Amino acid sequence: MSDRLVLAIPSKGRLKEQVESLLTANAMKLTLIGGERGYRASLEGAPDLDVQLMSASEIALQLAAGTIDAGITGLDLLRELDPSDRLGIEVIARLGIGRADMVLATPQAWIDVARIDDFDDVCAQFRRRHGRPLRIATKYLRFAGYILHERGVSDFRLVESLSATEAAPAAGIAEAIIDITTTGATLAANRLKTLADGLLLRSEAVLALAPGRRGLAAQEGLARIAAIGAA
């Protein structure tokens, strides 16, 4: 059996491009095995790593399952998979790319709702007035439920968003949203606002270890990648 470690990196999208650029800039050029359509790669300067390419969400799942040793994926995906950190996936480096904020946003017209405490009051009022819970659209059902309860919001219903979450209030699908944003421009375009304390998670690309792999962090290839995040 090979002693080489299995590292997964994103196989597509903007995050893949950012990861490749970051590695190349730090003398760790990625070379695909089998051409542009290949899903295995070698990493210059990391002879102890077998690199696999898969979707960022799949990387989070395979880390939890322990079928890979390490992976580069979004912190938001890890938190959605494991909101309370019970699975033992260990983040060993934030890489400073793929940054985005997960926020709680409400209609701009809700002028009296500035903070999460206000939002909790609105949830209670909404129940009394309409006889049903206020709806919050999100792609992050597990983490949203966990963090809202942690923040003291108790009466709401999460609605799964499969497309443009920020359009949900205007479409009558939900009254508020929890979503990822980078500039806030899309929220503003949809007449939504982030609450003053509505930042729920600062996400970015991270290097993470599967449960029980803590001792691997010192291995040459992983240590070099982790050092990029510390730079």
The confidence score (pLDDT) of residue 5 equals: 93
The partner residues of 156 in beta bridges, in order of sequence, read: 134
The confidence score (pLDDT) of residue 45 equals: 87
CATH number of 5-98+204-230: 3.40.190.10
Q: Which fold has domain 100-202?
A: D-Maltodextrin-Binding Protein; domain 2 (3.40.190)
Residue-wise pLDDT tens for the chain (231 aa)? Answer: 357 899 999 998 999 999 999 999 999 998 888 666 658 988 998 999 999 999 999 999 999 999 999 999 999 999 999 999 899 999 999 999 999 999 999 999 999 999 999 999 999 999 999 999 999 999 999 999 999 999 999 999 999 998 899 999 999 999 999 999 999 999 999 999 999 999 999 999 999 999 999 899 999 999 999 999 876
The confidence score (pLDDT) of residue 38 equals: 59
User: Would you list the domain boundaries of the chain?
Assistant: 5-98+204-230, 100-202
> Rg for the chain (alpha carbons), in Å?
20
Rounded to the nearest 5°, which phi and psi values hold at 103? -130, 155
3-state SS string for the chain = CCCCEEEEEECCHHHHHHHHHHHHHCCCCEEEECCCCCCEEEECCCCCEEEEEECHHHHHHHHHHCCCCEEEEEHHHHHHHCCCCCCCCEEEEECCCCCEEEEEEEECCCCCCCCHHHHHHHHHHHHHHHCCCEEEEECCHHHHHHHHHHCCCCCEEEEECCCCHHHHHHHCCCCEEEEEECCCHHHHHCCEEEEEEEEEEEECEEEEECCCCHHHHHCHHHHHHHHHHHC
The confidence score (pLDDT) of residue 37 equals: 60
Pick the closest to residue 68 from 224, 225, 228, 222 (CA basis): 222
Pick the closest to residue 20 from 50, 44, 48 (CA basis): 44
The confidence score (pLDDT) of residue 1 equals: 36
